[in-house]
Each structure stands twice: as C-alpha cells, then as structure tokens.
Amino acid sequence: MSVGVIYSEESSFTVGELSSGIDEYYRVKAAQSSKYRIVENTTVQFAGYTARKVVIEDTTVGKDSSPHRVTNYYVLKGDKLYNVWGYCALANASDFNVNIMEKALSSFEFTR
C-alpha cells in the first residue's frame, strides 16, 4: 500500500469542468481494457472541500504491472488541483488493509 499527493498549479477550470474531464478520462480508460474497472466515481467532501472520488481496479498482469486498486480524490483549492491518492495491490486488498488506506486518506488536511 502507498498513499501520496500530486498537485498542479496550472488549474484554470471549474469544478464542473474538472468533473467532466475526470468522467471522460476514466470512461476512455475503461473502454480500452476489459481489465480496467471503475468501482466508484462520486462527488464527496474531502479535507473540507468538494472533491471528486474515483476508485478504479486494474487486473492487468504484465512486466510492469500487477492487479491493483487506486483511490483518487481530486480537489480544487484556490488555483491548484490536488490529487490525493492511495494504491493497494489486489493481492493485499483485504477489508482491513483497504480500511487502513481509507483512514490514511481521510486524515489528509490542508494546513494553509
């Protein structure tokens, strides 16, 4: 399991545009492979902001990949887009481990 944060300072779009872009991106990815599945795609409150939560599972097995689950929270804060994410290999995705990852993600807060 791992968690992380990625951000972009080049955000010039609205929450609605972000949601539309996220929907389209994941719809295309799912259409490209039957091994790629969108588990959840919803609007939620995250760290005090409206966010898009997208959970995907990819069961592709290859040289550089193994089956995994990724939880993404996309948050617009000011002029930055944050992607707070958690990754868990499906082999380790017991309810216990997934709950720990979700607790780690839900503990995220902006400090300024």
Position 40 confidence tier, pLDDT thresholds 50, 70, 90: very high
| Tokens read off for 27 | 């719809």
Q: How far is CA 22 from CA 15, 83, 109, 112, in A?
A: 10, 11, 22, 26
Convert the chain into a string of H (helix), E (strand) and C (coil).
CEEEEEEECCCCCCHHHHHHHHHHHHHHHHHHCCCEEEEEEEEEEECCEEEEEEEEEECCCECCECCEEEEEEEEEECCEEEEEEEEEEHHHCCHHHHHHHHHHHHCCCCCC
pLDDT digits (tens, 9 = 90+) for 62-78: 888 899 999 999 988 88
Q: Which of 74, 57, 73 is nearest to 65 (CA)?
A: 57
Provide the pLDDT for residue 10.
63
**Whole-model pTM?**
0.84
Average pLDDT, the chain: 87
Q: Who has greater pLDDT, 44 or 1?
A: 44
